[in-house]
Amino acid sequence: MMDKYKRMWRKILKEAIEKESNAPLSPDEIILEIPPRPEFGDLAFPMFSYAKILKKSPKEIAVTLFKRIKRSEVEGKSMGRLQVTGPYLNVYLDRTAVTADLLTSIEESKEDYGNNNNLSGIRIMVEFSCPNTNKPLHLGHLRNDAIGMSLSRILKACSAEVLRVNLINDRGIHICKSMLAYRKFGQNTSPEQAGLKGDHLVGDYYIRFNDWAKDEPGAEAEARKMLKSWEEADPEVRELWEKMNKWAVHGINETYRKTGVEFDRVYFESKTYLLGRDVVLKGLEKKIFYGEEDGSVWVDLSSFDLDKKVLLRSDGTSLYLTQDIGTAVQRYKDWPFDRMIYVVANEQRYHFKVLFKVLDLLGYNWAFNLHHLAYGMVNLPEGKMKSREGTVVDADDLLADLEDLASKEIREKGRESEIDNPGDTCKKIAFGALNYYLLQASPYRDIIFNPQESISFSGNTGPYLQYTGARISSMLRKFEQRKMEFKHGSLHPELLTASDEWEIVKQASSFPGIVTAAAEELNPSLISGHLYEMSKNYSRYYHDYPVLHNKDSNLVVSRIALAKAVRRVLQHGLRLIGVPFLEKM
């Protein structure tokens, strides 16, 4: 859409400069920008960088190129017009042509508007969430899930074949800790008896362990002993482990359902942790790794600006890294991918550098296609979330609070009778607000979550976008009811050229390019930001310009077409960032 015009103008500029200088120019030497203010037009070409080639001042170049392009008469033909503004060449696009383009394009592509084929035939595996089975999900997981889900949708929108995978960390010392505390203090209570979700019950005993361990020096040793029993497949320990894991996984799945998180394949660490061993031992045979006298196996990465790392303990057991090596190899076998994206917090940067390098040394050529999307931490105003200090923001609690807030809001506004299913709507507003909040910042940055202030339903929020969509939907329903009144009207793009409308048209037209950029940069926040800008413009426009209250049927029909276009972009864009579209709210 917008890209089409950008491409064409780039070409025009390139040819003009080449003719002027008699030398070929590479396409990326043509700098194209979006002007900072509307009076400078829709596209801008700064002339500074051509000063050396053409041996003229930027201002002179602008004039020269302007005359040359003018003579070649590429203008007209719906291309828009050119203007010299000091050292810039500014393009003013033909509003009618772009608007007509947009409306027909949306009409033709329907739900697919914004999709592209850039990643067609590319298989991408996306790993995210990766919970432990010793505690419930918290806000950090929610950010991880939001990014993982959104990214998967964005990549699919670019026609990639995407496989969403989860890895459940269901073994290890931390799991044994909650098991141990439960065995000591739990009195065989089931989640039903305790009136708790399974993951919360297990999590409570993890906290219980830490409390107990404070004045019990032998606690850690006892946990280690239990881990050993687990590895030796002690029936009693295994039975307890299976029971508690089931509770935890069940509870976690419930949270996933509530937040709309889904996976195509789920791996369990308890089933993959042994796989890495064989791979490492083969590497040892090939002398890629080396053994110490105590029997431990190491890799020396000091020539790659990394350290020496242990791959197998002296007792032959696996580590986190070993497990990840095995899981990666297994996954490639299961589903040969062209790219693999690990959505994991940035505190694990080093781990992934090492992992990718080790896989590379082992000769897996797909190691180059592994990517760690290192997203930032979610912190609280007083600092890091700490489970031991009880400062973690629990996912279920947060969601429940948000639903209450939404429900209160609906009652205060007296909207209950208007909405078909208030309970469901509250849920959708709640996780719309949550997902938008989590995806409005760039993934790689740390964010600060203030429980009192962060989640709001006004301003730059998910519900604001939902509200914009609901109002447009409401108006479109009214239009349908009164359709006969406007039956003589027809679409006239030239009626939609007011500056407010033009901004909206440009933003809707840029949407496909934004989807492309979000996929390339693995950054869903580009979409949330763009939808917000477009909604803001539309809200103002909607306030100032009557749509249905017009005598001129042509104008009504045309403005309705624009409303439909905005709605379509909102529907699609919101889906990509996990914010439910609402007809009513």
Phi first, then psi: what are they for 569, rounded to 5°?
A: -65, -40
From 65, 160, 406, 565, residue interacting with RNA (rule: CB under 7 A): 406
Stretch that binds RNA, among 47-55, 200-208, 276-284, 488-496 (CB under 7 A): 47-55
Examine residue 451 and tell whether it contacts RNA (CB under 7 A).
Answer: no
Name residue 10's amino acid. Answer: R
Q: How far is the CB of 204 from RNA (least distance, A)?
A: 20
Cβ proximity to RNA, 191 vs 372, nearer residue: 372
Nearer Cβ to RNA, position 112 or 307? 307
Q: Which stretch binds RNA (CB under 7 A): 7-15, 278-286, 396-404, 472-480?
A: 472-480
The residue within the footprint of RNA, chosen from 66, 92, 290, 320 (CB under 7 A), is 320
Half-sphere exposure of 176 (CA within 13 A, CB side): 21
Candidates 25, 35, 357, 571: give the one binding RNA (CB under 7 A). Answer: 35
Using the contact rule CB under 7 A, the part of the chain among 194-202, 235-243, 388-396, 528-536 near RNA is: 528-536
Beta carbon nearer to RNA, 196 or 574: 574
Site size with RNA, rule: CB under 7 A: 96
Q: Long-range CB contacts (< 8 A, 24+ apart) of 118-121?
A: 118/158, 118/159, 118/516, 118/519, 119/155, 119/158, 119/159, 119/160, 119/519, 120/158, 120/159, 120/160, 121/159, 121/161
Could you give the dihedral angle defined by the CA atoms of residues 136, 140, 144 and 456, in that order, rounded to the nearest 10 degrees? 110
Q: Which stretch binds RNA (CB under 7 A): 274-282, 326-334, 335-343, 450-458?
A: 450-458
Instruction: Convert 208-277 into a string of H (helix), E (strand) and C (coil).
Output: HHHHHHHCCCCHHHHHHHHHHHHHCCCHHHHHHHHHHHHHHHHHHHHHHHHHCCCCCEEEEHHHHCCHHH
Residues 464 and 409: their CA atoms lie apart, in Å, by 13
Q: Among 7, 286, 445, 482, which residue interacts with RNA (rule: CB under 7 A)?
A: 445
CB 20 within 8 A of CB 65: yes
Closest to 515 measured CA to CA, from 146, 262, 161, 151 = 151
Q: Which two tokens stand for residue 568?
A: 């379509």
Q: Which stretch binds RNA (CB under 7 A): 140-148, 192-200, 395-403, 442-450?
A: 442-450
User: Residue 183 or 351: which CB sits closer to RNA?
Assistant: 351
- By CB under 7 A, residue 278 contacts RNA: no
Q: How far apart are the first and last CA of the chain?
A: 32
Answer yes or no whether residue 371 interacts with RNA by CB under 7 A.
no
Burial tier of 360 (Cβ tally within 10 Å: 0-12, 13-18, 19+): middle
Question: Which of residues 173 and 221 has its CB atom nearest to RNA in the complex?
Answer: 173
| Among positions 3, 11, 21, 33, the unique one binding RNA when judged by CB under 7 A | 33
CA dihedral sign, ordered 443, 449, 451, 457: negative
Distance of closest approach, residue 305 Cβ to RNA, in angstroms: 7
Q: Which of residues 492-511 bind RNA (CB under 7 A)?
A: none
Smallest separation (angstroms) from RNA to the CB of 40: 4
Is residue 40 involved in binding RNA (CB under 7 A)? Answer: yes
The alpha carbons of the chain give a radius of gyration, in whole angstroms, of: 29
Closest CB to RNA among 35 and 260? 35
Q: Say if residues 102 and 506 touch (Cβ distance below 8 Å).
A: no
Which of 241, 332, 464, 581 contacts RNA by CB under 7 A? 464
Q: Which is nearer to RNA, 41 or 136 (CB)?
A: 41
> Using the rule CB under 7 A, which residue among 10, 68, 415, 492 binds RNA?
415
Interface with RNA in residues 132-191 (CB under 7 A): 132, 169, 172-174
Distance in Å, CB of 292 to RNA, minimum: 5
**Closest separation between CB of residue 195 and RNA, Å?**
29
Question: Within positions 529 to 568, which residues make up the interface with RNA, using CB under 7 A?
Answer: 529, 532, 536, 539-540, 542-549
Of 82-90, 116-124, 183-191, 571-579, the segment contacting RNA by CB under 7 A is: 82-90
Helix (H, G, I), strand (E, B) or coil at 300: strand
Tell me whether residue 228 or residue 258 sits nearer to RNA (CB atom). Answer: 228
**For residues 225-264, which are near RNA according to CB under 7 A?**
none
**Residues in 199-218 that interact with RNA by CB under 7 A:** none
Q: Binders of RNA among 375-394, rule CB under 7 A?
A: 377, 381, 383-384
DSSP string, 463-530: HHHHHHHHHHHHHHHHHHHTGGGGTT----GGG--SHHHHHHHHHHHHHHHHHHHHHHHT-THHHHHH
Environment class of residue 582 by beta-carbon count within 10 Å: exposed (0-12), middle (13-18) or buried (19+)? buried
Q: Which helix (H) or strand (E) holds 567?
A: helix 553-576
Query: Rounded to 5 degrees, what angle do the CA atoms 492, 494, 496 make?
Result: 90
Dist CA 273 CA 538 (whole Å): 53
Residue whose tokens read 């810039």 = 88
Cα 327 from Cα 395, distance rounded (Å): 27
Of the candidates 56, 228, 258, 471, which one interacts with RNA according to CB under 7 A?
A: 471
Could you tell me which stretch among 17-25, 208-216, 282-290, 470-478 binds RNA (CB under 7 A)?
470-478
- Which residues in 286-315 contact RNA (CB under 7 A)? 292, 294, 296, 307, 310, 313-315
- The whole-angstrom separation of Cα 165 and Cα 168 is 10
Answer for which of 19, 70, 250, 478 binds RNA (CB under 7 A) is 478
Given candidates 152, 255, 525, 558, which one binds RNA under the rule CB under 7 A? Answer: 525
Pick the closer one to RNA by CB: 196 or 426.
426
325-364 residues in contact with RNA (CB under 7 A) are: 346-351
